[in-house]
Amino acid sequence: MRNGVIHVWREDSVIEDDTIEYRTTIEVDGQRHNLWYTCAAQYAPYITSTMDPYLVGSIFLAMQYGDRLVVHGPVSSDLLRNLERFQEIWAYWESDRYHKVELLAEEELQPAPPVNDDALVSFSGGVDSCFTVHRHLERMCGRQTETIGAALMIHGFDIPLQMRSAFDTVAHSAEQILASRGVPLLRLTSNWREIMDDLHISWEDSHGTSLIACLSLFQNGFGVGLLASSLEYDPMIPYGSSPLTDPLLASDRFRIVHDGAHVRRLHKLPVIATWPDAMDHLRVCWERPELAGNCCECEKCLRTMLGFRAMGMPLPGAFPRDVSDEQIKSIQILRETGYHHFDLVRQEAIRRGMGNESWVRALSYAMAQYGRGEHPVMALRRRLKLRTRIKGLLGMAPVSGGSG
């Protein structure tokens, strides 16, 4: 439901012991939501005084519920310009859910240079983020190489806030991966996903803005936000983090780099395999956060494990057990992106002469179930997506007596 104006205010920060909490109020449909971010007080000098991060984080709320977004504080004028294009893309992709809104700020700041050239990289300890860190530290990117100053891990996104001990374990593993390369890990905690979930904002669509909002909080200490790609350039599908949209969530003062979309995830595996600490502590599982490791049962665990197998590589120590043919055969692929990744695994296995192996046949069987629509959840999702596309086409068709 669209209901006029959405407001964003920044409140006073609170220091307690060795932590500092940054508070913001967001008003949607007359209801106020208290957003907060908490980090170690030693990083307070890195935190920006602008409202740029809060604007980035709120853009999907505005596109879904509002007609105007008013930010009570200073915002970079070039970010405002970029967000107009960002909205156009999403309004084109998902016209029945999102629409372009007017963006207003109490003060528009003129473009300013970055504080330095150091990059803060979003880090989960998974394949994509390990690949991005490794290739930049090894200067494998040519003129595109960024100088990584630190990594950022966020509690409250894939690991719920109440699972504090699980996050601490995961963050400790991430620190072990990064310590061998001399990269410090910054920890940030936020209730932003809880707010998004309460307001029924799609996390699949909005997770990129949420991550980049967190990175851009630290723009007084870093000039670049580095985000690892989850998908390749082809296919380009509506997704929350992409090489098309992520750079638009930036200003001259804080540049956003979407990294690694030219490399398929399978081909990232041999690169990170040269990093022993990453192989021992790699974490790809998000469906079982209470385990603080890899469950070896969920879709993402299975396709990563099979990816190593398809590439002719041993299973890393981060996975406590291997996958059976029966497990593979019973995989329920619930998303187009998941099907895409499994298809790449299958194609690579066939290319390497494994097409007749039992596990490849089992994977082909599981993928055929997706193709025939035998999983009710997937069938429903595809019908809804088709309905969205039809509505979009009808909305673009000329209507007699109406406006375009």
CATH number at residue 219: 3.40.50
Residue 82 lies in a domain: yes
Residues 350 and 320 in one domain: yes
Range of the domain at 290: 284-378
Residues 84 and 182 in one domain: no
Same domain, 217 and 179: yes
User: In 3D, which of 230, 309, 233 has the Cα closest to residue 269?
Assistant: 309
Structurally, the chain folds into a number of domains equal to 3
The answer to the question of residue 265 being in a domain is: no
CA–CA dist 146, 119 (Å, integer): 6
- Same-domain status, 67 and 159: no
Position 378 scores a pLDDT of 43
- 33 and 92 together in one domain: yes
Please name every residue paired with 20 in a beta bridge, in sequence order, or none if there are none.
Answer: 15, 39
Looking at the domain assignment, is residue 383 inside a domain? no
* 360/306 Cα distance (integer angstroms): 9
- Of 60, 89, 109, the residue that ends a domain is 109
Distance of alpha carbon 99 from alpha carbon 64, whole angstroms: 7
Kindly state whether residues 32 and 50 are assigned to the same domain: yes
> Measuring CA to CA, how many Å separate 297 from each of 294, 301, 332?
8, 6, 11
**Pair (149, 246) in one structural domain:** yes
Same domain, 29 and 151: no
292 domain-assigned: yes
276 assigned to some structural domain: no
- Nearest alpha carbon to residue 202 among 335, 369, 302, 16: 335
Residue burial 373-385, b: 16+ Cβ < 10 Å; e: rest: eebeebeeeeeee
Look at residue 19 and tell me if it is in a domain: yes
DSSP strand pairing (68-76 vs 147-155):
unpaired
Burial class (CB in 10 A: 0-12, 13-18, 19+), 67: middle
Domain shared by 212 and 253, yes or no = yes
Matching residue, tokens 């996390």: 203
pLDDT the model gives residue 259 = 98
Q: How many helices (H) and strands (E) does the chain have?
A: 13, 11
Residue 241 and residue 353 in one domain: no
> Do 225 and 134 share a structural domain?
yes
Half-sphere exposure of 116 (CA within 13 A, CB side): 12
pLDDT at 374: 42
Q: Which of 109, 138, 156 is the last residue of a domain?
A: 109
The burial class, CB within 10 Å (0-12 / 13-18 / 19+), for 33 is middle
Answer yes or no: is 268 within a domain: no
Angle (CA) 117-227-87 rounded to 5° is 105
The per-residue pLDDT string of the chain (404 residues; one tens digit each, 9 = 90 and over) reads 455 899 999 999 999 989 999 999 999 988 999 999 999 999 999 999 999 999 999 999 999 999 999 999 999 999 999 999 999 999 999 999 999 999 999 999 999 999 999 999 999 999 999 999 999 999 999 999 999 999 999 999 999 999 999 999 999 999 999 999 999 999 999 999 999 999 999 999 999 999 999 999 999 999 999 999 988 887 677 899 999 999 999 999 999 999 999 999 999 999 999 999 999 999 999 888 877 889 999 899 999 999 999 999 999 999 999 999 999 999 988 777 788 889 999 999 999 999 999 999 999 999 998 865 544 444 444 445 555 555 555 554 443 333 33
Q: With a threshold of 0.75, does the pTM exceed it?
A: yes
How far is Cα 273 from Cα 311, in angstroms, rounded to an integer?
11
324 domain-assigned: yes
Given 52, 82, 109, which residue is the final one in a domain?
Answer: 109
Same domain? 143 vs 236: yes
The C-alpha atoms of residue 286 and residue 264 are separated, in whole angstroms, by: 20
